[in-house]
Amino acid sequence: MTRAKTKKISDLRLLTALGLFLIVSGLGATQIVSATNSQLAGVERDASATSALSASSAGFENYLLVGSDSREGVDPNDPDFATMGSGDDVSGRRSDTLMVFHYDIATGAGALLSFPRDLWVKLGNGENSGRINTAYQQGTDVLIRTMQNEFNIPIHHYLEINFQGFKGLVDAIGGVRICTQYPSRDKHTGFYMPAGCHNLNGVRSLAFARSRFFETNVDGNWNIDGSSDIGRGRRQRQFIASMLNTALTRITSNPLTAADAFAGATQALITDANLDLTEFAKKMRPAAKGDISRYSLAVYSDSVNGDSVLRLDKDSAAVLAFFGGIGPAPAPAD
């Protein structure tokens, strides 16, 4: 099922925007609260996603956070065009990254789990198989049913945020601080960052988070990250944690910054019809302070009809049981 207006989305901006919601909700500035209430009314709601959501679960809630790398309408003069590519490079709706945010109602603890886009799964109700990325192409309802049926994870709410919104949010809070042990680069996009800690603007943040050919210089030798989407997911989780912490610090010290950032976030978001963004913001507040457990799935490489894919390893069982509400929390991955 397609949407009349294709969205350009990426997973990081999800938590970025959502973190800004929680920050704004905790500031208490009257003028900001008034502005955000009116902006919330303009958030786009996805009826297709809403129709596929799970009923409430006892003790926890799961939020599916989705990012799309659709290039439709991308300006070739945009300074990050090399990072994003054009509609000729990638056509149609494709999820850039999928994450599930798990909220424990009793303790208020949050956890985040990444799903590689090349993971081979049964789609929707199991009639066909394909990369999990394909489920998003077929509709948000198909994606949600895929997550629920393939991984036994109930999905209670759905959120997306668009590409351009991400850059604006980063710039609205004055950039985000990222630290690396070694010099890093991506020759395909022109991204380069010396070792140490640096404040990245929206364009450079996008390049860091989306890099598919990430290299580090160790002892004078450039080494490419051979873990592909796994390493990329790890960097994205690192970025999310840094982004939320940076946003909390800077917006708390200058509340007027929040109004611009929040305006960009609401314009970028798509959610299910039932999601109360103000309540969700409160649940996300610990994440903005860095108090969030981050997980990844154990996977292995395989080939289907000559194409490289990833398959779920049996060692993922404990993590999936936790996010499914039927097992204890395992030790976080990173």
**What structural domains does the chain harbor?**
11-170+257-323 (3.30.420.590)
Inter-residue contact 289 to 208 (CB < 8 Å): no
- pLDDT higher at 48 or 29: 48
Inter-residue contact 42 to 266 (CB < 8 Å): yes
H or E segment to which residue 230 belongs: helix 229-253
Half-sphere exposure of residue 211: CA atoms within 13 angstroms, side-chain side: 29
Task: Return d(Cα 307, Cα 310) in angstroms, integer.
Answer: 10
CA angle at residue 279 from 274 to 284, to 5 degrees? 115
Q: What is the DSSP letter of 9?
A: B
Token readout for 11 is 């997973």
Q: What is the pLDDT of residues 18-45, one digit of tens each?
A: 555 444 444 444 444 554 555 666 778 9
pLDDT of residue 39: 61
Inter-residue contact 156 to 57 (CB < 8 Å): yes
Task: Return d(Cα 171, Cα 179) in angstroms, integer.
Answer: 18
The residue type found at 257 is: T
Q: What is the average pLDDT score of the chain?
A: 77
Q: What is the pLDDT of residues 153-207, one digit of tens each?
A: 999 999 887 655 667 777 777 888 888 899 999 998 889 999 999 999 888 887 8
Split at pLDDT 50, 70, 90, the class of 12 is very low
Query: Which long-range CB contacts under 8 A does 202-205 form with residues at least 24 apart?
Result: 202/166, 202/167, 202/168, 202/169, 202/170, 202/171, 202/175, 203/79, 203/80, 203/83, 203/167, 205/166, 205/167, 205/170, 205/175, 205/176, 205/178, 205/239, 205/243
Q: What is the pLDDT of residues 60-102, one digit of tens each?
A: 999 998 876 555 555 555 655 555 544 444 445 555 678 899 9
Residues 6+ apart with CB under 8 A from 13: 67, 161, 162, 163, 165, 166, 169, 268
Q: Is 325 helix (H, G, I), strand (E, B) or coil?
A: coil
Q: What is the DSSP letter of 14?
A: H
Split at pLDDT 50, 70, 90, the class of 266 is low
Classify burial at 321, counting beta carbons within 10 Å of its beta carbon; exposed 0-12, middle 13-18, buried 19 or more: middle
pLDDT at 59 over 60: yes
Most confidently predicted of 133-137, 145-149, 235-239, 242-246: 145-149
